[in-house]
Structure formats: structure tokens, C-alpha cells
């Protein structure tokens, strides 16, 4: 892709936009950064800045290439206005992939992407690769391409927002972890969200590999499929939540070798090991690479035990499927803390599982009252306003031997800047209990 002498517009001046601008400048383009904010800072030297982006400004802008940051709605009116005067429109991840020539393990799914991305990177490094985790995992792919030397392999976490605008990116291995409704505040239908996720397979060939959770309702895809499951022992990879088996042979004991617990973490581990095996990493090396691994913060993170009650921080559970996974993986009676922003999701399906796994529930935030009305059909439920009030209520409701589980089931933007701040606040509140 030759950009020398071309005009490039980067829409969105966050970290992904800054990295895309730097890469475009390196390739000889004239780069313009547009953002809806009143001021733009941090862009690389040589970038022409255009704050206060609007549809009107977009319609008046012309360029050879329009690069979208992943947080911007690909199908919204702002992008449509800018795209009208662009020769081509692509996302930052797609743009960077055109300058990356190493091996790619692409990871998508409604839940578990970040943990699996970390595991893939850990295994690749153990096998001697100069690897890097990137994409939706903190570091944009454009930053990776600008490194010297450039890593020979990447664990590329791909959100639906990044997948929307792919036109050529071809993972050597694509991981499909799971699918459940999410982001209904961005997508008009569940089918539209599903279609966005499916783009991960678009450019794979029969020579590539897809690592897929058994039982996922996928259409016909070209790559060779490798399956994993915690329910179907006939899958290529199977786990009972503790032991991982490959074609019936034991590979790893999660409880003795790692700090990963629960069926969902077993699925993440199987997917990562299977993906790296498809790249030629011996299974023995992959298993040893996970020794001592602890899941990232805010993912069923044990905060403390107090008066015989465990407190788990699963703030990363920003949708119903993640909430269900966290509930299903618990072995002790649960007092659930859930709530946050109303994303338009249907929480009724969680009620039967809640009845089986929980003693009580506490809801908080914007969605507290409607969520409480649903949960109350399954267990005693209290609705409060703040997370601090929720922690106090949960402590009162939890008997010795129970688990207080923060697994919100929705995003945090009604009261917090993100799930990290929500989880950090929960940790602080729990550590202050006495």
C-alpha cells in the first residue's frame, strides 16, 4: 500500500488514531487528524489538526484514505459524511495489517478475549517468538508495526468494532471464543453484531486455522476447524474445568499449574494452546508456558476473604453472557452484585441460573430498579443507587461460606469511566470492610 504523496484523514485522535497517524506519516502521506473534541493533543509532529469534527466538516473534507479509530461508529452519520469524500475507508487495525508481515493469531468473542490474548502471547514467547499482544488489548497494531524490530508474531484481540472495517486482514489462526448479545446500543440487531464478529474469517483460506468453541452456530467457513469444549468430550480439546485434554490425553491441570479457575478460564486456556499448536508450538511448551499464570484484574479476581465470605471482582463482565459465565463457574452460594448502564439487553434469561447459583442479589446504578424486578423473580433482591451501598447490602446478605460476586452484566458508564475504575472502586470498598 503506497501512501507517498497521498492525503490521509484519521478520524479519532485517541491512541489508535495517534498510532495510525504516525504510521501514515512514516509512509510519506500528508496526514490530517479530525476529532469531535474541542482540542486535539498528542498527535505526532507533522499532523494537521482539525478539532470540532462534524458532519458538515466531513462533507467538505476530501482525502485518498480515511482511517477510522475503533471507538467511532462505522455506520454512523459522522463517518458517512467523511467517507463521501474519501477514496477508501478502513479501520486502524486493517490499515496497520497492510504493513505487518508476521504471523497473526486473531482473537474474538463476546467474552474472554483479553485473557486469551495474554495466554497466546505468553505461549508464543515461551516458544521463542518475538511476540506482542495488541489490538483491542491496549496497544494498537499500528504501534506494533512501528517497533524496531517488528515482532514476528502478534496476539491480536479483535472487537466487533475493529472487525467491522476489515477488508484484507488474514489471521493465520482465528479464535472464536463464544457469542452472546452485546453492544445493542450500537448494533440495530443481534444478527448485525454477529455479522460483524464473523468478519474475522472473511479472508482466511483452507491453509489457515479456526479455533472454535464447539456448538457455536457458525456458517460455513473456509479454514480448517479445531474445536474446544467444556461440555462435549468429543471436541478436539476438552476440559472439566480443571484438567485440559487433547484428543483424550491430559495436557494441563489448571488448579496445580495456574491460578485460573472456572469453566470460562478453561475455555480460554484451551483456545490459546490450540491456536499456538496450529502455528507449530509443541503442546508441552504451551502447557509449561502457563505455569503460575493469573487472570487479568477484574476477571473473577479474588479480593479477600472476610468472616468466611469470599469477595470476587468480575467488573469486566459488561454483558449478560459474561455474567452468566461467572455465575456458572462458582462453587459456593452467591450474593450477586449487578448493574450499571442500561444497554438495552434482555436480562430475563439469567433468572433460572440465578435461582440455581445465588442466595440473593443486589442491583445498583441506572439499571438498578428494572434489573431488580427481573432478579426478584428468582432470588431475594435489593435495589440501591451506588456501588458502595451495594457492597454494604451484599455483606449483610452473605452468610459464612458464601461468595459476594461483583459481575455487573452491563457497562459502567453511568457512574464510572470504565470497568477498570468500577472494579478498582469495588476492591477499595471491600478492603475497607472490617
pLDDT in tens, 332-381: 899 999 999 998 888 999 999 999 999 999 999 999 999 999 999 999 99
Beta bridge partners of residue 212, listed in sequence order: 176, 227
Grid cell of 60 as nine digits:
467538505
How confident is the model over 81-99, as a mean pLDDT?
97
Task: Give whole-number Cα distances, 429 to 111, 220, 304, in Å.
Answer: 26, 48, 11
243 has catalytic annotation: no
Express as a percent the part of the chain with pLDDT over 70: 99
Three-state DSSP at 57 gives: helix
Predicted confidence at residue 262, as pLDDT, reads 72
Residue 152 carries which DSSP code? Answer: S
Beta bridge partners of residue 9, listed in sequence order: 32, 66
CATH number of the 100-289 domain: 3.40.1190.10
The answer regarding whether domain 301-431 maps to CATH 3.90.190.20 reads: yes
CB 287 within 8 A of CB 273: yes
Question: CB-hemisphere CA count at 13 Å for 151?
Answer: 23
pLDDT at 398 over 80: yes
434 has catalytic annotation: no
Predicted confidence at residue 184, as pLDDT, reads 54
Please, what is the average pLDDT of the chain?
Answer: 94
The model's pTM is: 0.78
Q: Where are the domains of the chain?
A: 7-95, 100-289, 301-431
Q: What φ, ψ does residue 11 adopt, rounded to 5°?
A: -100, 110
pLDDT at 101 over 70: yes
Of 411, 353, 412, 343, which is closest to residue 378 (Cα–Cα)?
353
Grid cell of 378 as nine digits:
428468582
CB 174 within 8 A of CB 168: no
Q: What is the pLDDT of residues 156-202, one digit of tens each?
A: 999 998 998 899 999 999 999 998 766 656 677 888 889 999 999 99
Predicted confidence at residue 428, as pLDDT, reads 97
Q: Are strands 381-383 and 358-364 parallel, antiparallel or unpaired?
A: parallel
CATH number of the 7-95 domain: 3.40.50.720
Q: Catalytic pick from 34, 113, 197, 246?
A: 113
Same fold, 100-289 and 301-431: no
Q: Catalytic pick from 136, 265, 268, 313?
A: 136
Predicted confidence at residue 294, as pLDDT, reads 81
113 has catalytic annotation: yes
pLDDT at 331 over 80: no
How confident is the model over 404-429, as a mean pLDDT?
96
Q: What gap in Å lies between CA 14 and CA 301, rounded to an integer?
A: 29
Q: What is the pLDDT of residues 249-285, one digit of tens each?
A: 999 998 888 877 778 889 999 999 999 999 999 999 9
Q: Catalytic pick from 32, 34, 183, 264?
A: 183
How confident is the model over 112-116, as a mean pLDDT?
90
CB-based burial label for 60 (10 Å; 0-12, 13-18, 19+): exposed
Amino acid at each position: 500500500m503506497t501512501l507517498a504523496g497521498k492525503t490521509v484523514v484519521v478520524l479519532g485522535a485517541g491512541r489508535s488514531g495517534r498510532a495510525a497517524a504516525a504510521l501514515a506519516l512514516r509512509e510519506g502521506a500528508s496526514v490530517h487528524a479530525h476529532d469531535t473534541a474541542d482540542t486535539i493533543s498528542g498527535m505526532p509532529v507533522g499532523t494537521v489538526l482539525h478539532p470540532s469534527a462534524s458532519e458538515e466538516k466531513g462533507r467538505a473534507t476530501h482525502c485518498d484514505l480515511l482511517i477510522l479509530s475503533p471507538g467511532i461508529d462505522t455506520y454512523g452519520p459522522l463517518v458517512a459524511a467523511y467517507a463521501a469524500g474519501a477514496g477508501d475507508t478502513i479501520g486502524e487495525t486493517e490499515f496497520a495489517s497492510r504493513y505487518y508481515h508476521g504471523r497473526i493469531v486473531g482473537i474474538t468473542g463476546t467474552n474472554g478475549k483479553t485473557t486469551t490474548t495474554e495466554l497466546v502471547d505468553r505461549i508464543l514467547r515461551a516458544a521463542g517468538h518475538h511476540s506482542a499482544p495488541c489490538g483491542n488489548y491496549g496497544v494498537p497494531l499500528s504501534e506494533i508495526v512501528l517497533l524496531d524490530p517488528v515482532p514476528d508474531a502478534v496476539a491480536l484481540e479483535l472487537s466487533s468494532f475493529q472487525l467491522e472495517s476489515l477488508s484484507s486482514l488474514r489471521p493465520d489462526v482465528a479464535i472464536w471464543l463464544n457469542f452472546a448479545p452485546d453492544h445493542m446500543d450500537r448494533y440495530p440487531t443481534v444478527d448485525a453484531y454477529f455479522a460483524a464478529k464473523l468478519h474475522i474469517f472473511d479472508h482466511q483460506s483452507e491453509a489457515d486455522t479456526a479455533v472454535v468453541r464447539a456448538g457455536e452456530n457458525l456458517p460455513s467457513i473456509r479454514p480448517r476447524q479445531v474445536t474446544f469444549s467444556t461440555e462435549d468430550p468429543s471436541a478436539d480439546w476438552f476440559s472439566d474445568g480443571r484438567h485440559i485434554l487433547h484428543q483424550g490425553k491430559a495436557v494441563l491441570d489448571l488448579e496445580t499449574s495456574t491460578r485460573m479457575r472456572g469453566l470460562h478460564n478453561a475455555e480460554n486456556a484451551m483456545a490459546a494452546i490450540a491456536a499456538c499448536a496450529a502455528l507449530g508450538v509443541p503442546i508441552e511448551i504451551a502447557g509449561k508456558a502457563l505455569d503460575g499464570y493469573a487472570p487479568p484484574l477484574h476477571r473473577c479476581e479474588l479480593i479477600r476473604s472476610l468472616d468466611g465470605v469470599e469477595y470476587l471482582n468480575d467488573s469486566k463482565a459488561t454483558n449478560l453472557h459474561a455474567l452468566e459465565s461467572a455465575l456458572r463457574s462458582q462453587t459456593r452460594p452467591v450474593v450477586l452484585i449487578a448493574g450499571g448502564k442500561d444497554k438495552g439487553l434482555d436480562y430475563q434469561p439469567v433468572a433460572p441460573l440465578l435461582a440455581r447459583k445465588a442466595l440473593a442479589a443486589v442491583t445498583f446504578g441506572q439499571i438498578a430498579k428494572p434489573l431488580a424486578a427481573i432478579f426478584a423473580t428468582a432470588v431475594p433482591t435489593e435495589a440501591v443507587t451506588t456501588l458502595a451501598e451495594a457492597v454494604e447490602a451484599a455483606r449483610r446478605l452473605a452468610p459464612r461460606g458464601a461468595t459476594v460476586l461483583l459481575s455487573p452484566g452491563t457497562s459502567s458508564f453511568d457512574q464510572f469511566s470504565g470497568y477498570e475504575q468500577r472494579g478498582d472502586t469495588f476492591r477499595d470498598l471491600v478492603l475497607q470492610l472490617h
